[in-house]
Structure 1
Amino acid sequence: MAYRNRLHTSACQTSSWTIPYKESCMFRRIKARLTDMKTISALCLQAEKHALDDHQSEPGAEHFLLSAFDLPDGTAQQVFDQIGARQTAIKPAIKQQYADALRSIGLAPGAIWADGGDTAVRPAQQHLYNASASGQEVLQVLAANRQEHAPLLGAHVIFVIADMRHGVAARALRAMGVDPDLLKSTAEHIAANHAHNAPRQPQM
C-alpha cells in the first residue's frame, strides 16, 4: 500500500526526544488507534445499513464504498469531486449490477421481494460482524495497513476498493465510467494531503 504518513511515525520513533515527548507520542498513537476503531465501527455499521437497503444479509465492498461517503472526514467526496464522478450515481450503478445478475439467471429484478417486506433480509442477532467475501477483503486490507494511515479516512477505503478489479463494486464503478487507476491515485493523493495538513502537536 503506497499511502503513508511517515512524518508522524518517524517523529514518535526518534530516540532523541525527551521522555515527556515520548509519552506524548505514545498517547497520540493510542488516541489514533482508538479513533480508527471508532471509524471502523462507524464504517461497518453504515455498510450494514446499505446492505440491508439492498436486501443483502452481509455487506460487500460496494456497501463499504457507499459507507466511505458517510464518514465525517469528507475525503471520499473529495476524491470523486476531483475525478469528476458523481457520488449519487453509485447506488443506481450498484442496483443495476444486481438487476443484471438476476436477469442472467432468468429472474426479473425485484421478483424475489415482490411479496413485500416479509422476505427482506433482517439484521442477524450476532456478536461477530459478518461481511461478504469482498467486504471482508476491504476490512482485511484496511487492518493490514493500519500503520500506514493516521487516521483512517474515507479516501483510504476508496483506495482499497479501487484496487479491486472484480465484484459488484468494481463493475459498478466501470459502469459509471470511472477509471480505477485514476480513482486509486486520486484517493492516495487526497489521503496524503489530509495527513500532511492535519494539525500536529508541537515538539517538546
Structure 2
Amino acid sequence: MARLVAVTAVLGLLLAGCVDPHTWPEDQDDIVNGPLEVRTHWQAFTLEQPLQINDEGRQRLHLVLDGEQYESNDLHDPKDYVNQFNPRRVDGVLIEPDIILVGDNGNEVRVHGTGSLGVRTGRLILAFGTHHGDFEDFLSRPPAIPDDIEHFEALRIRSNEPFTIEALHWSVDRHPDLHRCGRRCTWLERWLMGE
C-alpha cells in the first residue's frame, strides 16, 4: 500500500510539470442560463457563444441542477454503468437525458454522463462527455471530436422524464498530460505510465 501511495505521489509531482495552463481555452460558464425545462421531446438551443474545442483535453458539458431536488444515480446504483452519472430525482425517479452537441458544420456529437461533481453550494453538477461504456479504462482518452467540427453552435436535448437544469457550463477539465506527456515527459514518467 505504501508503494502505491509513493508511486501515485511521484507521478502526480512529475505530471504537474507538464501542465501549461495558458494553452487551454477558457471555461465557458453559463452557456445557457436556466431554468431550462427539459421535456420528453427534442428541444434545440442555439448557443450565443460557440463552445470552443481543444481535442487534446477532456471536454465536458456540465449540467447544473438543484441539489435539493436531484442527486447522482451513482449514489443509488453504482453498478448501473450506463446510467451511473445520470440524475435521479429525490422521489427516486431516474432521469435519462439524451444530449447532442451540434457542430458548426451541422455534424452531431452525442455526449453521455461521465462524472458527478457532487453537491456544491446546493447545486448538483453532472459532467457529460464523449466517454461511454463501463469505465473500465476511465483514464484513457475519450473518443475524439471529429476534425471537421471547429466548434459547437447548438445543442439538442430530451429526456425520459421532465427535469429542470439551472445552467449549462462547458469545461476542459483534464489536461492530456494526465494521460500521456508525449515529448515533454522523462523516461521515468513514460515508464510509470506504461508507455
So what's the TM-score if we normalise by structure 1? 0.25
Structure having the higher helix fraction is 1
Determine which structure has more spread, i.e. the larger CA radius of gyration. Answer: 1
Instruction: Report the structure, 1 or 2, having the larger strand content.
Output: 2
TM-score relative to the length of structure 2? 0.26
